[in-house]
Amino acid sequence: MFDRIEQKPDKKLLFAILALTIFGWIISSSASVGHFSTFSFAIKQGIFISLSSFVGFFILKLPLSFFKKHSLLAFNITLLLLFLVFIPGIGAGNINGAYRWIDLGLFNFQPSEMMKVAMILFMANFLVEQEENVTKSLKGLLKTLFIVSLSGALTMAETDLGATIIITVTALIMVFIAGSYVKELIYIGSTILFVFYVFVYFNPVRWNRAISFWTNDLWGEHGVYQTKQALLGIARGDWFGTGLGAGIQKYTKLPEPHTDMIFSITGEELGIIGMLFILGSFTYILIKGFKIAARASKDGRKYSYYIAYAICSWLSMQISVNIAMNIGLMPIKGFTLPLISYGGSSMFFIIIALALLLRIDMENRADYSKRKKYV
């Protein structure tokens, strides 16, 4: 199962990931302590990071062929977990109007975060094995749509629109880079977009939230409260911030300062400098990641290429949307900021994804005689 490889993880990339993770733990701890007046969230996040790093270390020892072999099993298990959130006694029940978590006692587990990784692993294997069907026939694309619909139906039933969008768009990007015709992808994308529109339109809360953001004056009487408070916090921070722990928006002004609105808290307490550190670190990680994907593609290792490209695409979308909604460019939606926001399930699977990226880079740098055996 384990593969002995002489190459070590890229030190600069590993350092950037670790630095951003530690930075995120510090700023999310500041936000949670201020908002909840307890250190329990900070302690839990520290445990999540430690556990995730431990698992990530073992992933570095596993060849990508291991994940290719077990990708269908991982996908099926995740589908089952997505279904179990609705079962009384197993699911955590209705939390803030959504059924998204499985109650594990000490903490809740969110299967939709697992699906982000499981879909990438399974779709990559599907595209490698069904490449000719997917790229040259509508039948192959319909198979892809069926796979995406399996997870999409369950995450939509959980009312987790954010995860549904991330998973679906990531899968379609993978199909696109596999060589599918753009016209067919546009048809499928339009169909999925229409489904999302109907889902939002017939949900009064979601529809009003979306419409009010674009139609109302932000600073008027009916402006979006969270967006206003997020921008006020960033404005208070100026260049260097009010100081770590000295922000005031996290106490009562922002409902989710340690998760969705963590970028705004960073801006208030650490200023533009703190926000630039986050942006610079993510930019370095993503550029490096896309280069890793390109190198795997050059070697003809398509499974690794699809996974690396998909991971970077997923993270790019989630980072962009979270920051955009924090600075008032998009309506508020439940998107965490990877490695920064509080959340055990999110942290666990993002670190797993980045460990996979590091492993692909290690295989990229292996000797040719060994590299040609990798997928």
pTM: 0.93
Q: What is the pLDDT of residues 2-33, one digit of tens each?
A: 777 778 899 999 999 999 999 999 999 999 99
Q: What is the pLDDT of residues 241-283, one digit of tens each?
A: 999 988 899 998 888 888 999 999 999 999 999 999 999 999 9
Give backbone dihedrals phi and psi of 204, rounded to 5 degrees, phi first: -55, -40
Q: What is the pLDDT of residue 208?
A: 77
Residue 20 to residue 315: CA distance in whole angstroms? 14
Beta carbons of 334 and 151 less than 8 angstroms apart? no
Q: What is the pLDDT of residue 222?
A: 63
Nearest Cα to Cα of residue 175 among 217, 149, 141, 151: 141
DSSP state of 366: S
Q: How confident is the model at residue 89 (pLDDT cuts 50, 70, 90)?
A: confident
What mean pLDDT do residues 118-128 have? 95
Q: What is the pLDDT of residues 30-55, one digit of tens each?
A: 999 998 989 999 999 999 999 999 99
CA-CA-CA-CA torsion for 175, 180, 183, 188, nearest 10 degrees? Answer: -30
Its sign, for the CA torsion 58, 100, 125, 358, is: negative
DSSP state of 224: -
Report whether pLDDT(220) > 90: no
Q: What is the pLDDT of residues 142-187, one digit of tens each?
A: 888 889 999 998 998 887 888 999 999 999 999 989 887 777 778 7
Residue 314, Cα to own-chain centre: how many angstroms?
6
- Terminal-to-terminal C-alpha distance of the chain: 15
Rounded mean pLDDT of the chain?
A: 89
